[in-house]
Amino acid sequence: MAIAFIGGVLLLVAGPSVFASLTAQTSNASPQTVASGTLKLTMSATNPSAGFSSSITNMAPGDAVNRYIDLTNSGTLDSQGLTLAIASTGTGSLITDGVAPVTTRALRVTVRSCVAAWNQATGTCPDAGGAVTQIAAAPLSTFTSAQSFTDATLAAAAGLRLQIQTALPDQNETVTNGTLPANTVQNGSVGLTYTFTEIQRTATTTNS
């Protein structure tokens, strides 16, 4: 650094400097692999059941139809928060219950599971623990909002053997001179889209 006086003013003039430092490094010999997992949910009809691919026809009050599907978490990540929502279109009286005095009118859906394979001939669960009601019977309108399963967690590669029951409740109607009553459940139809949803397990911090 140089010092100079110019016109009575002290000036400090910086000159070139050289700074020295030490640096050390190390690195892993082989690249570390970091892989993300997958979250997948699949369903398939359980043979010989037709699952959701075949229509249900000619139902009468008191009838119930069981269909069977396998629901599988086919990804590599565990899941939680399993739910079912059903989008319904068609005859309103089959979707939403009536008003008093006849309130129980619409189609009901019940979801049950069995650890063992279902006996589809009898609709029974042969497991010693019996069937588990995953979602209790509710009218189609209820499933506009996703309904939670009793067993809402699925480990990776695990699944549920499900019985999906669609039932038309017992009820009375009178047809007069061939004319169906107002808000009848007769001669109606609905289109149902079942959406099962799972979310990833709770995020974790591990030490290794």
The predicted-structure confidence for 116-138, as pLDDT tens digits, reads as follows: 999 999 999 999 999 999 999 99
Is residue 126 situated within a structural domain?
A: yes
Percentage with pLDDT > 90 across the chain:
86
The predicted-structure confidence for 14-55, as pLDDT tens digits, reads as follows: 666 678 899 999 999 999 999 999 999 999 999 999 999 999
Is residue 30 situated within a structural domain?
A: no
Is residue 79 situated within a structural domain?
A: yes
| pLDDT score for 17 | 67
Is residue 97 situated within a structural domain?
A: yes
Is residue 151 situated within a structural domain?
A: yes
Residue 8 predicted with pLDDT over 80: no
Contact 109, 137 (CB under 8 A): yes
Is residue 182 situated within a structural domain?
A: no
| pLDDT score for 103 | 83
Residue 163 predicted with pLDDT over 70: yes
Find how far residue 5's CA is from the centre of its chain.
83
| pLDDT score for 51 | 95
Is residue 166 situated within a structural domain?
A: yes
pLDDT mean across residues, the chain:
93
Is residue 140 situated within a structural domain?
A: yes
pTM, 2 dp: 0.86
Per-residue DSSP letter, 129 = T
Amino acid found at 58: N
Residue 9 predicted with pLDDT over 90: no
Residue 127 belongs to domain spanning: 41-172+189-200
Domain count for the chain, please give it. Answer: 1
Contact 61, 26 (CB under 8 A): no
